[in-house]
Amino acid sequence: MKVSYHGHSIVKIQVDGYTILIDPFINGNKLTDLKVEDQKPDVILLTHGHNDHVGDTVEIAKAADALVVAPDELASYLSWQGVRTHPLHIGGSYVFDFGKVKLTQAFHGSSYTTENNEIIYTGMPSGILFFAEGKTVYHAGDTALFSDMKLIGERHPIDVAFLPIGDNYTMGPEDAACAVSFLKPKIVVPVHYNTFPLIEQDPHDFAEMVSITEVKVLNPGEELEI
């Protein structure tokens, strides 16, 4: 399995001939190395409905006939846009041909803002556990620190965790370092930072706060093989 980071919270997973994109916010993302027209994923996984996570999902999914797996209300909203979806809810999981997806809780908001400045409620925000080839990837989505991360780590030993460190809207570096101590992943990758002025952080400062786990600070486009 290969996992790669592409700026903000975009993660790409390549496993057993499938390409999976998580939170594909490309247009408007100054840090990404991706172009919308080049993306042909089989699957898109979404953590919540904010525009900087749903991003270009509709355009990409329609062009590639990709399946979009998302929290229930968000999946319903996207299905009305003509996208093929599979709804999940927090604590629920489903085994697909490409792997197993389980949603975890996340402490944040979830809504989509339209071009007419309408705010569409899109249900509860979530994190994502992805299981395939005997490996477990955890994408925390946008979240605050919460103590049940201990339970997530205990029940699902994590190979790679993608954790937000940007502060202001999510955990900052200090809380993210505490999250690492709860989750105990083999590798942690910081995400959701430096895209906007309010979330500017030095990821190497975060790395220095973590002593129990290997921290991989990835530039957009860099990948890990696990």
Report residue 223: phi and psi, to 5°: -135, 160
Average pLDDT in the 105-118 region? 96
For 49-97, write each residue's pLDDT tens digit. 999 999 999 999 999 999 999 999 999 999 999 999 999 999 999 999 9
Q: At 27, is the pLDDT very low, low, confident or very high (cuts 50, 70, 90)?
A: very high
Average of pLDDT values for 193-199? 98
CA distance from start to end of the chain: 6
- 178 and 50 Cβ atoms separated by less than 8 Å: no
Could you tell me what percent of the chain has a pLDDT over 90? 100
Angle among Cα 219, 36, 5 to the nearest 5 degrees reads 20
Domains of the chain: 2-215 (3.60.15.10)
Strand (E) or helix (H) holding 173: helix 173-183
57/47 Cα distance (integer angstroms): 12
Cβ contacts of residue 223 below 8 Å, gap of 6+? 2, 3, 4, 5, 12
